[in-house]
């Protein structure tokens, strides 16, 4: 137990202290004089405190006892105040906040229930202003149509469109076209017709105008067919195909240059281009269906690009595969039709790519 030095100092004289008490008080006082001073101070302090005391008023006790005798329910004053606020006695029922608040709640809930209908996709707005980024005149002439005879698992398709720094991968195209291509390959060494538009995409003007005419693509008379026969190399697509064209095996490439160099038509306005694009898209859809039907037919299996004789100077290289070359002669009209359809399909798919890239950019911009 801690001995309290103050009690010793107050109750005893210095000469009365025992050795133990002296040790205790030595923390406060060192000698008799200090002992007396401390004694005087402590006594004075107690006197001052006695004179400074106050008495509690009777009202204080009454208030505390009132609180003590209150029922517990009444002690929850804040709940009482809430009740008084919600149900004031001096107002009519429609003026009471509880009624008004419940009415507002019902209205809000009812509004949400009525107007919170499931989303109707048919009524959703469509972005019908695709930006046509079309190749220039020079680029249009370099459009390449390649027919490749690929080995098993030939997936040398364009799945990637390079437009400047953006790279958009069209998964649907990648999934659909290999199956199509493989079916053709299985049908007796038929060259799949692949339209690459990488060159077109690389040089796309980004001003929103389509400088290269699409109608010229239909002019098959101006098309120059180039046959390229790769002996043992990869598919001979000289253009960038996003790294998908490294399948081994022989390949025959027909490069077709579309003669658009004489096109002098002025740049078209975006609305005009949009209208044309829609029209072409419809045409391409119908043609595409026919093309797919033809592809699955064994007719194309007898096609051989080597039989297409071209004396044009633009022909870069010719590679003929002897076993394929002797199979059938491709009807030029038929082939031209197929090529046209293929081109339109390519344009359509490219437009889809561009639209999707725009939407993605807009979406990213929104997120940022």
Partner 1 sequence: MKLFKKDYSKYTDEDLMRSYQEGDKVAFEHLYARYESFMINFFYRKLWSDRIKAEDFTHDLFTKIIDKPELFDLDRSFKTWLFSVANNMCKNEYKKQEIRKNTGYDVPEGMDAKDEEILPDTAVDKSSFAEELKKELEKMNEKHREVFMLRHFEGLSLNEIAETLDINAGTVKSRLHHATKTLAEKLAVFRNTMI
* 67 is a site residue for partner 1 (CB under 8 A): yes
- Phi, psi (deg, nearest 5) at residue 139: -70, -35
Q: Which residue's structure tokens are 């022909």?
A: 315
Selected binder of partner 1 within 46, 183, 261, 309 (CB under 8 A):
46
- Of the candidate spans 36-44, 207-215, 244-252, 254-262, the one that interacts with partner 1 by CB under 8 A turns out to be 36-44
- Terminal alpha carbon distance of the chain: 71
Cα 26 vs. chain centroid, distance in angstroms? Answer: 81
- Of the candidate spans 49-57, 96-104, 268-276, 337-345, the one that interacts with partner 1 by CB under 8 A turns out to be 49-57
Min dist. Cβ of residue 12 to partner 1 (A): 17
Residue 222, burial from CB neighbour count under 10 angstroms (0-12, 13-18, 19+): middle
23 versus 64: smaller Cβ distance to partner 1: 64
Q: What is the 3-state secondary structure (H, E, C) of 4-48?
A: CHHHHHHHCCHHHCCHHHHHHHCCCCCCHHHHHHHHHHHHHHHHH
* 73 is a site residue for partner 1 (CB under 8 A): no
* 19 is a site residue for partner 1 (CB under 8 A): no
Selected binder of partner 1 within 51, 232, 271, 366 (CB under 8 A):
51
Give, for 306, the enclosing helix (H) or strand (E).
Answer: none
* 271 is a site residue for partner 1 (CB under 8 A): no
Selected binder of partner 1 within 12, 14, 21, 42 (CB under 8 A):
42
Q: What is the 3-state secondary structure (H, E, C) of 219-284?
A: CHHHCEEEEEEECCCCCCCCCCCCCCCCCCCCEEEEEEECCCCCCCCCCCCHHHHHHHHHHHHHHH
Selected binder of partner 1 within 18, 75, 83, 326 (CB under 8 A):
75
Give the Cα separation of 88 and 236 in Å (integer).
89
- Of the candidate spans 32-40, 176-184, 293-301, 348-356, the one that interacts with partner 1 by CB under 8 A turns out to be 32-40
Number of residues forming the site for partner 1 (CB under 8 A): 34
Contact residues for partner 1, defined by CB under 8 A: 1-2, 4-6, 27-28, 37-38, 40-42, 44-46, 48-49, 51-57, 59-61, 63-65, 67-69, 75
């Amino acid at each position: 137990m801690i001995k309290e030095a103050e009690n010793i100092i107050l109750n005893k004289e210095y000469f009365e202290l025992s050795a133990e008490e002296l040790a205790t008080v030595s923390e406060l006082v060192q000698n008799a004089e200090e002992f007396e001073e401390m004694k005087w101070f402590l006594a004075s302090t107690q006197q001052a405190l006695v004179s400074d005391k106050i008495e509690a008023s009777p009202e204080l006790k009454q208030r505390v006892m009132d609180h003590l005798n209150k029922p517990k329910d009444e002690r929850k004053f804040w709940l009482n105040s809430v009740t008084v606020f919600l149900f004031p006695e001096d107002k009519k029922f429609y003026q009471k906040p509880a009624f008004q608040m419940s009415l507002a709640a019902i209205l809000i809930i009812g509004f949400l229930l009525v107007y919170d209908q499931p989303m109707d996709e048919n009524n959703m707005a469509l972005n019908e202003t695709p930006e046509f980024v079309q190749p220039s005149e020079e680029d249009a002439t370099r459009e390449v149509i390649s027919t490749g005879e690929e080995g098993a698992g030939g997936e040398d398709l364009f799945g990637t469109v390079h437009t400047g720094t953006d790279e958009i991968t069209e998964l649907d195209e990648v999934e659909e076209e290999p199956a199509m291509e493989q079916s053709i390959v299985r049908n007796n060494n038929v060259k799949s017709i692949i339209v690459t538009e990488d060159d077109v995409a690389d040089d796309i003007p980004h001003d929103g105008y389509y400088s290269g005419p699409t109608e010229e693509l239909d002019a098959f008379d101006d098309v120059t067919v180039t046959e390229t026969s790769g002996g043992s190399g990869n598919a001979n697509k000289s253009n960038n195909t996003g790294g998908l064209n490294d399948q081994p095996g022989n390949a025959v490439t027909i490069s077709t240059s579309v003669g658009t160099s004489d096109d002098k038509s002025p740049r078209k306005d975006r609305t005009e281009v949009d209208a044309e694009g829609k029209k072409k898209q419809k045409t391409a859809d119908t043609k595409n269906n026919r093309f797919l039907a033809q592809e699955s037919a064994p007719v194309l299996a007898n096609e051989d690009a080597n039989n297409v004789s071209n004396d044009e100077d633009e022909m870069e290289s010719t590679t003929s595969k002897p076993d394929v070359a002797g199979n059938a002669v491709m009807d030029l009209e038929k082939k031209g039709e197929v090529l046209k359809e293929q081109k339109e399909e390519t344009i359509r798919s490219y437009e889809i790519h561009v639209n999707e890239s725009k939407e993605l950019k807009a979406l990213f911009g929104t997120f940022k």
